[in-house]
Every structure is written in structure tokens, then in C-alpha cells.
Amino acid sequence: MKVKNKFIAATVQAAPVFLSKDKTIKKVISLMNQAAKNKADLVVFPEAFIPTYPFWPKDLGFGPVKKTTMDLHMELHKNSVEVPGSDTKKIGSAAKKAGINVIIGVNEKEGGTLYNTILYFSNKGKLIGRHRKLMSIDSEKCIWGNGTSEDLKVFDTEIGKVSGLFCYEHHLTLAKYALYQKGEQIHASLWGGHGFVKDTMDFACKQYAFEGQSFVIISAIHITKDMIPDSFPLKEETLWDYPGGSGIINPRGQYIAGPVFDKEEILYAEIDLEQIIRAKSVIDCSGHFSRPDIFNFEIKDN
């Protein structure tokens, strides 16, 4: 496959249409088309963007309040995405029409289980792969199942070797190294946009880019209380502190776009894959700077 050495990447910072799969997909397609009109070859969307990250308290005990959390889980499941299915066909068709590669976070449903999943679409409209979050944190465990070794893949595309992780997976050290070892060049870093992880998002993504000698494209949700319908039963019980923090970082760990906070925006930057070789001439974490004579790393297959 012939690979472009230079291309334009776009990262979306936006809010989903809260808990509405169909309306959020329409928004995704509109933003995708906007990025394509601005000459982007790749657009990245945030974590769990379809139909929303579960911002609300997820386990509030028993009794009437517990019934509310279960009702919300049912609503989230109803608006989640089957992979593959009619929703992935819509996104793929739109990607093909726009001629753009798309990486997007969705709530994926398989039977009665939900997964926090990254989907990868080529500019030909093909769903080329997915990544299910390997390890959820805190109360996310009340919502999502865990991925497996099948979810540690790097995909060959016309814009290079692409993969990604969610938020605190960037502290899952061996998962990071697995992607480094597989030759990842473009890393999608998807976040819910929580205010309390603003600093963490910044240093984790800069470290990832520097350590792995890759471009990191950060996409985070920005959502505020006034975007939430008054009919949402836990609106007042939820802290709506999601300023975002999206940006694009080069293999030296430097921002070349963003970070941006407190607004919806699409950021753009030119990706020059030759910069990866410059970075690796100093530190190649899976090559001359790895010492395989001392260390051994194995990914356990299913």
C-alpha cells in the first residue's frame, strides 16, 4: 500500500446529541464533511461519542435511585451501536463519500453487554477494525465490559500505521508498548473530556508521543449542563465539568495544534511521517533503544 508521507489530520472537540444515537450520527457526518472540505485526510472523534459518554453517577445503591441508573443503562444500550450493523454502514458510506479516514469512539453493544469501542473506517468506507477498551476505571466498570488481546492491533492505511487507546489506557504501560512494537505511527487518543484529568491528559499524551515516536491526535468531549435536556433524571446529580483538551502532538512531544478548552472546535495540523524517523534517530523504543537482549515482551493471543 502506497502511504502518504504528508497529510492533514483533524481532531473534533464537540458534544454528542445527548443519548440520541441517530442525531449524534447526523452530527458526526456533518463534522466529517466539514473536516473533508478543509482538506483533512483523517478525522478523529472523542471517546464514547455515540450516543454519549455516561457522565452521570453510575451506581447509586438500591431502591428508587438504583432503578433510575438501570433505566439509564437501558437507554444507553438502546442507543448504542452494533458492530457491524446499519449504523456502521451509515458512517462508512459517509466516509467514502467524503473521502476521509475516520476514527470514532462509540458505545458498542453485543447481546446484553456494552463495550467502550474505537472504530476505524478507511476513506473507501470500509470498517477496518475496532478497539475495545481493555480496562475501565472507577464507576465505568458498572457500564462496560473489557476488551482482549484482539484489541491491540495497528492498522495499515494510506496515511500510515494507525491505532489508538482511551483515556487511562495511556497508563496501561504494556498496552502502550504493544502498539509501539507493532510500528504505530498515528495514535488516536480518545477522552471523555473530564476537567479533573486535564493535566493528566496533557502529560500522558505528550509522554506517549515522545516515548513512542508517534503523532498523537487527542479528541475529547466538551459538554456543559445547558446542553442536557431537563428531562434527564440525573441532570442535577451530575457534575458537568467537561472542558475538553483536544490537540495534536508531534513525535517530539510538542503540540502542533491546540490544546483547546471550553468550546466546540475542529483542530487541524499537517502530519509529516518523516518526523518519526528524525525522532527515532535519537530514541527508537522498539528498535535500537529497546535492549531485547535483556527484556522480553509477549502479547498473549486468545
User: What grid cell was written down for 61?
Assistant: 445503591
pLDDT (0 to 100) of residue 62: 64
pLDDT of residue 61: 64
pLDDT, tens digit (0-9, with 9 covering 90-100), for 149-165: 999 999 999 999 999 99
Instruction: Summarize pLDDT for 125-182 with one digit per residue, the tens.
Output: 999 999 999 988 888 988 999 999 999 999 999 999 999 999 999 999 999 999 999 9
pTM, full prediction: 0.95
Q: Which of 21, 133, 161, 206 is catalytic?
A: 133
Return the pLDDT at 65: 72
- Concerning whether 167 is annotated as a catalytic residue, the answer is yes
Do 52 and 114 meet the contact criterion of CB atoms below 8 Å apart?
no
Q: What is the pLDDT, as a whole number, of residue 298?
A: 85
Identify the structural domains of the chain with CATH numbers, from first to last: 6-280 (3.60.110.10)
Pick the catalytic residue from 108, 109, 161, 167.
167
Selected catalytic residue, list 47, 108, 169, 184: 47
In terms of Cα–Cα distance, which of 35, 20, 75, 91 is closest to 248?
35
> Can you give the pLDDT at residue 3?
86
Three cell numbers, residue 293: 537482549
Residues facing 302 on adjacent strands: none
Instruction: Check the CA dihedral 120-126-127-128 and report its sign.
Output: negative
239-248 residue pLDDT tens: 999 999 999 9
What's the half-sphere exposure (Cβ side, CA atoms, 13 Å) at 266?
Answer: 21
Residue 237 bears catalytic tag: no
133 among known catalytic residues? yes
The string of DSSP letters for 214-254 reads: -EEEEEEB-B-GGGS-TT-TTTTTS---B-EEEEEE-TTS-
Average pLDDT, the chain: 95
With a cut of 60, say whether residue 302 has pLDDT above it: no
Q: Give me the torsion for CA of 121, 126, 128, 132, rounded to 10°.
A: 60
